[in-house]
Every structure is written in C-alpha cells, then in structure tokens.
Structure 1
Amino acid sequence: MSTNLLQDFKKKISHQACLGIFSKTTDSNLVEAAGYSGLDFIILDQEHGTVTLETLNNHVRAAKISNLFPIIRVKGVDAHAIGAALDTGALGVQIPNIATAEQAKAAVQAARFYPKGMRGVCRFVNAAQFGTQPKDQYFDQANQSVVILQVEGVEGIQNLDAILEVPGFDILFIGPYDLSQSIGKPGQVDSPEVLSLMQQIAAKAKAKGILLGAFSDTIVRNQSLKNEGFNYIAHSVDLNIFSIALSQIIKKD
C-alpha cells in the first residue's frame, strides 16, 4: 500500500478541500494523465461504469504512479465487491445508496479487517504486494483505507442520525442527482429543495465531526461547496470533461 499517499491525502482532506473526478474510462493511460493535472483523487466507478475488476487493478497502479489517490465506487453494499475493490490496492472505497444504519454497518464491516470489521482475508493480492508485504503491516495499513458512504435518498435522510452514529467510516458523500430523483425532481440539483436538504445533511454531519463530500458538475458549484464546508468534491466525469474540452476547441477554431 502507498502509505505516504494515503497519509498525505488524509492529512490534507482533514483541513482543506480536495478536488477529484469520477472516472468511467477503460484506458489506464487516461487515469495516469489525470494525476499529472494535480487532482487530489479519482473515483473509479463500478456503479455506473463498465470497467472490469482486471482493468481496475491497472487503473489503481496508474493513479499511484501519478500521485493520484485511487478510490473505487462499488455498485452497492456487497461485502465481496467491497473487499475485491480494496484488494486491487485502491486506497479508498465508496459505497452508494446507504439508506439505513444497518447498511452503513455492513459497509464498514466489509471494508475493515478485525477488530474493526470482518473483511474477507487474502493477502496474495495487489494491495498486499502479492503476499510479500509483512502480514501485520498489511492488515494495519489496510484498516486505514478511506471509507466513504453515500446518502442520496429520502430514506437515508430520515435515518441520517442513526447512520452518523455508525463508527468506522471517514466521509459522508451526498449525491445531488439521486437526491433530486428521490424527491421527484430528477436532475434539478440546483433547486431550493435539493440545496436545502444538502445543507441539512451537512449540518448534522459537521456536528458529528464527519467530513463531507458531494458531486458537482460546474466550477461555480465547486466553489460554493467549498464555502459550505465540503472537503471531498468530485467534479464531473472524465469522459464528459474530455468531450466538453474538445467542443470548446472547436468553438474557438
């Protein structure tokens, strides 16, 4: 595990905003190139992406080469998927659609080794240098990985107090698009109702000392999230960023 990259990221995000992107590419070169931009982190997306576990292993290597903090978003609360994501050597795992404290506990249990959880054990994986890393060192470092829980629906908001009481996760992430869908306003992420709900969630998380994260697809929103105390800001998606950049070139030609 890249101990310095892990500790440096955790230190930075504890006191200032970090900026990353979601990634749906199947090309590890694009992941590596993203790191050279100066981004803090990248979320390799299995929930809405097509990337395979084999490719994720190479994506994680590519991110680490360019000093980019690699996080994998799995499809949901699935112990096998969470463990497999961390086995790639990813330094963080993001679990979507957390609606109850029981789901939050299950996600943390799947992401941590004993005594913090019950993650399935195999040290002959990328994360443990294929069995060459000392056992005690691997298990200790693995339990320091960043765990991000996504709350993005009405049920999750209703159960938020109980979710925030669950120990062992690092960041609470709000998905504004799913939040807008859950209140019957799909895509209206700037509506007063969505913004108000996000602020309510943020206030409760801050009161518990839990770091906040959210998705943004505009530069303006990035700044407002920073002003509201969000330290984990995921800006748009790599392929969309690429497409928009090309269209801007064409417009200026």
Structure 2
Amino acid sequence: MLGIFSKTTDSSFIEAMGHAGYDFVIIDQEHGPVQRDKLYDHVRAAKLGQLKSIVRVSENNHNLIGSALDTGAFGVQVPNISTVLDAKNAIKAARFFPFGNRGVCRFVAAASYGEKAKSDYFSDENKKLLILQIEGTEAISNLNEILELDGFDILFVGPYDLSQSLGVPGQITHTKVREEILKIRARAKENKVKLGSFADNVETYNFLIENDFEYIAYSVDVSLFIEGLKYIKTKLCK
C-alpha cells in the first residue's frame, strides 16, 4: 500500500489524494495541526475519495486512540512504541473485548451514531487496522517480544527518530540506519509481521520495496505541494 502523510487542515487535499489513486493517508496528529473536529472532516473526505484513513495519534494514550477510531477512521497508528507494555497498552486501547478495553460509546460516527447493529459494530471495529510505530534503539532491544504479540497488523519503522537514536539525526540513508532497518526486517519476517515505513525520495522508496515493506508513506502533502509548484515554475519560467 502506498500513502501520504497529511499535515493540512483542508479536507479537499485528503479527498484529492484518493482521486489520485493513493491507497491511504496518515492524518498526522503527532506532528500536524489536525484537531478532533477537523479529524471527522478528513475521515469523511477520505471515504469520498475511496482512500483509507489512518490516524497517527499524538501519543500512546487510551482516550486518544479510541477517539480517533470513533471518527470512523480505517485505522490508527500509535507512535513511540518502545516496550512490550507500550505495545500491549496500544492494543488494548484500540480493541474491544475480548482483545482489549477500548472505551465503549455506540453513538459515534464509527457506529453510524447508533444505527449500526451492536454486534456488527464491535466485530467490525476489532478488525480496524492497528499500526505500531517503533522509533529508537530501546524499541529494537525489545523487538522480539513486541513482534510476538497478537492484536496489531503492521510494525512501522520511523526512520528519522531512529536516525537520531543512532547518533546520525536526519540521515535516514546512513549505513547505521539501513543496517538496523534490515535487522528489523529479518526479525519481522521470521514472525510473519508486515512492515511499514516512510520515504521522502524515490531511492528510499525503492529500498523499502526491495526489502518487503508493504505499507509505505511517501513524503508529506504540504511538501509534495511545494515540490509540484517548484517543478511547474521551472518548466514555465525557462
């Protein structure tokens, strides 16, 4: 699956990504400006564009994870997973009984504001995509135990924070970073866990594809907009 990180407050951009043929959008509440009321609009826009909406919450917080899923989002991405306990807490927050203890309110968008049958609602929500994001050396030291857990769908490697934890901040193609990513890839493959990551250039994207990453976010909407404008300007103003 190929997607884009979004840091815009304009839902038209979300819908447009779907019309452009992308698979998913990560609506970023960790490093982006989207608050809860706008989040509902973004999720609706994604549905109009036949785009899977993934909400990256600002932190591994029970209420924030449940609230994001209440909007009707396709899934949730939880940052800063460093320990097995972090991972277990995220899983519990994203799942209803018997897999977790997500807060229950049937009168939310995800349940058609009470119109959806209860049994269908609880069953469908427990199938929502859950992505756990690891970002540093502490997570890598606990990786085997995290990978053995049931209840999440994708392990996302955050390359920028990983580069910082390895002492080469921002250098996501550095040998140290690439070596750790390949180690993560090998362990994930042994446990049959799907992998995701971020690329902001074609070379990094190809590296991820070649190493079996299935969920790739390519750059950020506002950055791609700037790149597009610059490209057009160079063509028009020769």
Under a length normalisation based on structure 2, what TM-score does the superposition of the two structures give? Answer: 0.98
2:62 is equivalent to residue 79 of structure 1:
yes
Identity of aligned residues (%): 52
Q: What's the counterpart of residue 32 of structure 1? A: 15
- The Cα offsets for residues 8-44 of structure 1, whole Å up to 9 and x where unpaired, read as xxxxxxxxxx100000110111100110000000000
Query: Is the CA contact (8 Å cut-off) linking 2:173 and 2:204 kept in structure 1?
Result: no
2:28 is equivalent to residue 45 of structure 1:
yes
2:157 to 170, 174, 187: 174
- The Cα offsets for residues 49-89 of structure 1, whole Å up to 9 and x where unpaired, read as 01111000010010011110000000121000000000000
The 2-side partners of 1:48 and 1:40 are apart by 21
2:131 to 140, 144, 148: 148
The 2-side partners of 1:222 and 1:193 are apart by 18
Q: What's the counterpart of residue 235 of structure 2? A: 252
1:93 to 64, 76, 88: 76
2:94 to 93, 111, 130: 111
Q: What's the counterpart of residue 192 of structure 2? A: 209
Tell me how far 1:166 sits from its aligned partner.
1.5
Q: What's the counterpart of residue 190 of structure 1? A: 173
- The Cα offsets for residues 109-160 of structure 1, whole Å up to 9 and x where unpaired, read as 0000000110000010110000110100000000000000011101000010
Tell me how far 1:220 sits from its aligned partner.
2.2
Q: What's the counterpart of residue 5 of structure 2? A: 22
The 2-side partners of 1:224 and 1:68 are apart by 25
Query: Is the CA contact (8 Å cut-off) linking 2:94 and 2:130 kept in structure 1?
Result: yes
Q: What's the counterpart of residue 148 of structure 2? A: 165
2:29 is equivalent to residue 56 of structure 1:
no
The 2-side partners of 1:153 and 1:146 are apart by 23
For structure 1, list consecutive stretches of 5 or more residues without a partner in the other structure: 1-17
Tell me how far 1:214 sits from its aligned partner.
0.4
* Deviation larger for 158-167 or 39-48: 158-167
The 1-side partners of 2:9 and 2:99 are apart by 33
Q: Secondary structure at the match of 1:189?
A: coil
The 1-side partners of 2:83 and 2:56 are apart by 18
What is the identity, as a one-letter code, of the residue corresponding to 1:72?
Answer: V
Aligned length: 236
2:133 is equivalent to residue 133 of structure 1:
no
The 2-side partners of 1:223 and 1:61 are apart by 31
